[in-house]
Amino acid sequence: MFCIKIHEKFGFKILAICDEEVLEKEYFFNDLKIKVSKNFYFEKLVNENELINLIKKERFDIINAFGKNSVDLLIKIGLINEKNILIIDNQKHAILQIL
């Protein structure tokens, strides 16, 4: 399952996605501590088909994904390339701006 939340800020529509198991955990990248916060990533849980349908149906300006399954899904549907992701404390992370 995937945690998702839609944000509308500063004229942008942002989809935040994370794997259910990374929610509320902390990860480290060099001197940065990154918390996958419920406040940013969680409004509801969806399965893979629901998430794919949402991405195809809605127009998002930015997609922020954290976790192996979330990022791999974006790769699977052709939105990002494996070489364009970050690895943070053994977790995948991607931010996609859609023009």
> Which CATH number covers residue 72?
3.30.1860.10
CA 29 – CA 90 distance, rounded (Å): 10
- With bands split at pLDDT 50, 70 and 90, how would you rate the model's confidence at 67? very high
Q: What is the pLDDT of residue 98?
A: 85
pTM for the model: 0.92
Q: What is the pLDDT of residues 18-43, one digit of tens each?
A: 999 999 999 998 888 999 999 999 99
Average pLDDT over residues 54-77: 96
Give residue 21's domain range.
Answer: 2-97
Number of domains in the chain: 1
Q: Does the structure show a pLDDT above 80 at 99?
A: no
The 3-state DSSP composition of the chain as helix, strand, coil percent (nearest 5) reads 30, 40, 30
Q: What is the pLDDT of residues 47-56, one digit of tens each?
A: 999 999 999 9
Instruction: Tell me what the pLDDT averaged over the chain comes to.
Output: 95
